[in-house]
Each structure stands twice: as structure tokens, then as C-alpha cells.
Amino acid sequence: MTRKTIPAILFGLIALVSLPFTADASTIGNIASSQGGGGEVSVGVEYERVFNRDLSINSGDRTRNVNGAITTTSFPASGGSINDFKMESNRVLVKGTFGFHQDIDLDLFLKMGIADVLWKANHVVAAGTDRDLEFDGEADFAWGGGAKLGFYQFSSGLKIMGDIQYLTYTVSGNYSVNGLDRAFFETPSSYETKTNVEEWQGALYAQQFFGPIGPYLGVKYSDMNLENETSVSGRTSGVPYSYDETVNADADKNLGAFLGADINIVPRHLSVNVEVRLVDETACSIGVNYKF
């Protein structure tokens, strides 16, 4: 499934959900307001676009086998570096949320769907030569979960909320160096490559409804780990070789801010949510939810 198909899938899912359903909230992970009672259930779908998140290289290695002789070195090699590491992603997720108990303003949620990832970096080798690296991953299965807790609600209706969540996915794709597919960059060869993404997030925010619209604003602490594994095999001067390469990167910034709004289309049932996230990442999302 290509990256270009995700927006089309999004609109199809939103249309499907909107026909028989209704909802109460959405994002900072696609529900801003809570369910408001034990046993309450909602189902929603959201499209999330991460335009940019900066990463920093954490570790890497390359294990090379040339005609049976095996060596392991760090990657990038001593004297080299990987800089300007950036990623972007499209995600379409279906989310189910369950109100835990009528006396505790606590929601538990699970989400599943598809996600892709595109990352780019600049590899400076020891000799000082720059190489532009790019991984373009196709959409694959993604899943996550978390919890949302209402801490306090003022008489004015202003509510203080907290949210924790986790998301992960692994995608295969194409890997190029200086715009040339990796199979042809060194010598004619073949390769397999995949990238795993894991995200953790904790958020604190305030929401106030004005009629059917509930704007909210908050701060969050988030982290991301991105790991790419690539296996290459080929021949050079008639001698077979292969190597396994691993690159591990973490989020460059952890503190962020966000703002958004729940818009109730049918009170206590159908709602739409829009959200923007800044500082640690540049991202936005739109969702539709139905509360049973």
C-alpha cells in the first residue's frame, strides 16, 4: 500500500463512520473530552499527518560478511556522522474508547489502523563526503493504546485532563543513497529494509465548551524511537558479500504544545475533532467519533 493511498482511505472511513454513528470527542490521540461515565463506549476514526519531527542518531552498527570473513563496525564509522535526521508520517487509525467507572473519570482506549513513514538524513563519511539517505516506507499495520483521566472540573465548566498513550508500527520500503536506489549505489545487489517506529506521550490540558464547540490547549512530553534494519547482499570483483546495518534514532525534542477543538454535530453522539501539535513535532489531525 503506497503513501498516496492513505488520504483516500481516510475519507472513505470517515464517510463510513459518519453514516450510522455519533461521538463525544477527539484527539490528542483522538479524544479530547472524556466519556463521562462507566461503561460508556465510543468508536472513531482519525487521519493524522506528521509533517516533520527532528531526530538524533543514537546508535548504529554494520556486520559485514565478505567471502566468510565477518567484521562488525559502528555505523556511522569512526570519524563520520549522520545529521539532519527528519521523519514524516501519515496515519489512519480506528479507535475504541471505554469509560472505566462511573465514579472515576477514566477512559481506556485501543487504536488500530495503518501508518507509513518517510525519513531522510545526511550521512557524512570519514573522508568528508556527504551522502543523502532516504527511506520511503509503504503503509502497514499500526496499533496503540492509552488512558485519559479527568483531574478536576471548575464550576465554569473548565476541565483539567491528562492523557498517556503509545503507538507503534513497522513498515518495509525503498532505501536510496544520493537519489539512487540502494541496490545500485554500491554494486549491483539486492536488499531488504524496514523501519520500526515507537512513540510514547503524556499530556496535560484544559478544555472548555462554548455551546457545541469545546476548544482545548495543553502541553505534552513525548518521545520517539526510530530503528531501521537493512540487509544487503551482492558481489564485488566476483567475491560475494553481505552486511546487516542498523540505525537507531530518538526524538530530538520532547516538550511540545497542542491546541484543538471538539465540535459536537449531534449532542452527546456525533462529533468532529481538529488538532494541531507544535514544537516537538509539526503535526495535525482530524477525526470523527460516535458515542453509543
Highest averaged pLDDT of the listed ranges 57-66, 77-86, 170-179, 188-197:
170-179
Distance CA 236, CA 30 (A): 51
The answer to whether residues 109 and 146 touch, using CB atoms and an 8 Å cutoff, is yes
Burial of 19 (0-12, 13-18, 19+ CB in 10 A): exposed
Provide the domain count of the chain. Answer: 1
Q: What is the pLDDT of residue 17?
A: 37
The pLDDT > 90 percentage for the chain reads 70
State what percent of residues in the chain have pLDDT above 70: 86
How distant, in Å, are the alpha carbons of 9, 92, 233, 286 from that of 49? 14, 9, 35, 9
pTM of the shown model: 0.85
Q: Mind listing the pLDDT tens digit for each residue in 106-154?
A: 999 999 999 999 999 999 987 778 999 999 999 999 999 999 999 999 9
* Per-residue pLDDT band at 11 (split at 50, 70, 90): very low
- Is the pLDDT assigned to residue 72 strictly greater than 60? yes
Between residues 6 and 29, the one the model is more confident about: 6
pLDDT band of residue 8 (cuts 50, 70, 90) is: very low
Picking from 236, 184, 214, 267, the residue whose alpha carbon sits closest to that of residue 26 is 214
pLDDT tens string 156-203 = 999 999 999 999 999 999 999 999 998 888 776 899 999 999 999 999
Q: Which domain holds residue 49?
A: 3-291
For residue 102, what are the CA distances in angstroms to 62, 266, 290? 54, 23, 19
Task: Please give the Cα distance from 261 to 272 (Å, whole number).
Answer: 8
Q: Is the bond leading into 76 cis (omega within 30 degrees of zero)?
A: yes
